[in-house]
Amino acid sequence: MVSLKDIAQRCGVSTATVSKALNGQPDIGEDTRSRILRIADELGYMANASARALKTNRSYNIGVVFVDPMHGGLAHEFFSTVLDSIRGEAERHGYDITFINRGVGQRETSYLQHCRYRGVDGVVIASADFTDPMILELVQADLPVVTIDHIFNNRISVVSDNRKGMDALVRYAAARGHRKLALIHGEMTSVTVGRLTGFHRACEELGIRVPERWIRQGVFHDSKSCCALTKELLRGEDRPTCIFFPDDYSCIGGLNAIHEMGLRVPDDISAVGYDGIPLSRIMSPVLTTWRQDTEALGTVAAAKLIELIEHPRTAILDRVIVEGRLQEGGSVENLYR
Provide the minimum distance between the beta carbon of 213 and its own copies in the complex, in angstroms, as a whole number: 25
Tell me which residues in 308-327 interact with its own copies (CB under 8 A).
none
Q: Is 24 in the site for its own copies (CB under 8 A)?
A: no
Beta bridge partners of 182: 243
SS3 146: strand
- Whether residue 198 contacts residue 165, with contact meaning beta carbons closer than 8 Å, is answered with yes
Q: Is 283 in the site for its own copies (CB under 8 A)?
A: yes
Give, for 209, the enclosing helix (H) or strand (E): none
Nearer to DNA, 46 or 74 (CB): 46
Q: Is 74 in the site for its own copies (CB under 8 A)?
A: yes
Residues lying near DNA in the complex (CB under 7 A) are found at: 1, 3-5, 12-17, 19-20, 22-23, 27-33, 45-48, 51-52, 54-56
134 binds, among its own copies, DNA, none (CB under 5 to 8 A by kind): none
44 binds, among its own copies, DNA, none (CB under 5 to 8 A by kind): its own copies
Q: Is 280 in the site for its own copies (CB under 8 A)?
A: no
* Residue 278 CA: distances (Å) to CA of 85, 148, 150, 158: 15, 20, 24, 21
Give, for 253, the enclosing helix (H) or strand (E): helix 248-260
Nearer to DNA, 48 or 334 (CB): 48
Taking the C-alpha atoms of residue 177 and residue 163, their distance in angstroms, rounded to an integer, is: 21
Binding region for its own copies (CB under 8 A) out of 189-197, 264-272, 281-289, 302-310: 281-289
Could you give the count of Cα atoms lying within 13 Å of 266 in the half-sphere of its Cβ?
A: 24
Question: Rg of the chain over CA atoms, in angstroms?
Answer: 26
23 binds, among its own copies, DNA, none (CB under 5 to 8 A by kind): DNA
CA-based nearest residue to 298, from 175, 128, 146: 146
Q: Is 215 in the site for its own copies (CB under 8 A)?
A: no
Beta bridge partners of 127: 66
Contacts of 326 (CB under 8 A, 6+ apart): 168, 169, 172, 288, 289, 290, 291
Among 5, 38, 213, 259, binds its own copies (CB under 8 A): 259
160 binds, among its own copies, DNA, none (CB under 5 to 8 A by kind): none
The DSSP symbol for 207 reads: T
Q: Is 117 in the site for its own copies (CB under 8 A)?
A: yes
Taking the C-alpha atoms of residue 195 and residue 319, their distance in angstroms, rounded to an integer, is: 17
Among 49, 136, 193, 316, binds its own copies (CB under 8 A): 49
Q: Is 136 in the site for its own copies (CB under 8 A)?
A: no
133 binds, among DNA, its own copies, none (CB under 5 to 8 A by kind): none
The DSSP symbol for 287 reads: P
Provide the minimum distance between the beta carbon of 87 and its own copies in the complex, in angstroms, as a whole number: 6
User: Strand 325-327 and strand 289-291: pairing?
Assistant: antiparallel
Provide the minimum distance between the beta carbon of 201 and its own copies in the complex, in angstroms, as a whole number: 32
